Amino acid sequence: MSTSTKPIPPLAVRELRSDAEIESAFALAQELRTHLKREQFLAQVRRQEAEGYVLIGGFAPELVALAGIRISSTLARGPHLFVDDLVTASSVRGKGYGQALLRWLAAYAEARGQTRIYLDSRDTALTFYKKVGFTCLTSVPCWIETDTLKRD
């Protein structure tokens, strides 16, 4: 007995630029960033755009993958494309859309003279990134409230 599987639609990828496009990405962005509030989302994306952030959507045919990226250069990493946000809709994870979006981002980076992509990963996503071919470094992002450092 043969089992037939429905083919996965190809991923169409493009920048999300209009207010309506960005606002329509909120639900998917919130799957990754659960603290996000709908009423603040557009304004936050626009603030980040002023610093080079670009929101990228992957459609099959509806929005199924989302990436927030920026071109960067640091002493530690040199010039690179940094992926601030990367999420595939939970309903279609494991179907290749995340990897397809990363391939598109690689072409985007190269078209802008960047030969490396960096991102910070959650522990739960490391297996995916390693499978795709990322080298995982040993640095761990840390943060602190400024008030804490000012205390005596």
Q: What average pLDDT does the segment 23-49 reach?
A: 98
pLDDT tier at 8, thresholds 50, 70, 90: low
The secondary structure of 3-45, three-state, reads CCCCCCCCCEEEECCCHHHHHHCHHHHHHHCCCCCHHHHHHHH
The amino acid that residue 115 corresponds to is: T
- How is residue 134 annotated by DSSP? P
**pLDDT at residue 45 above 80?**
yes
* CA distance linking residue 149 with residue 42, whole number of Å: 32
Secondary-structure breakdown of the chain: helix, strand, coil percentages, each rounded to the nearest 5: 40, 25, 40
Q: What average pLDDT does the segment 21-38 reach?
A: 98
Q: What are phi and psi of 119, to 5 degrees?
A: -160, 165
Phi-psi category of 52—alpha, beta or left, where left has phi over 0 and alpha has psi -120 to 50?
Answer: left
The amino acid that residue 16 corresponds to is: L
Ordered domains of the chain (ranges, CATH): 12-150 (3.40.630.30)
pLDDT of residue 4: 46
- How is residue 85 annotated by DSSP? E
For the chain, the average pLDDT equals 92
More confident residue, 49 or 7: 49
The amino acid that residue 83 corresponds to is: V
Q: Per residue in 104-147, pLDDT tens? A: 999 999 999 999 999 998 888 988 999 999 998 877 788 899 99
* CA distance linking residue 105 with residue 82, whole number of Å: 10
Q: Per residue in 87-96, pLDDT tens? A: 999 999 999 9
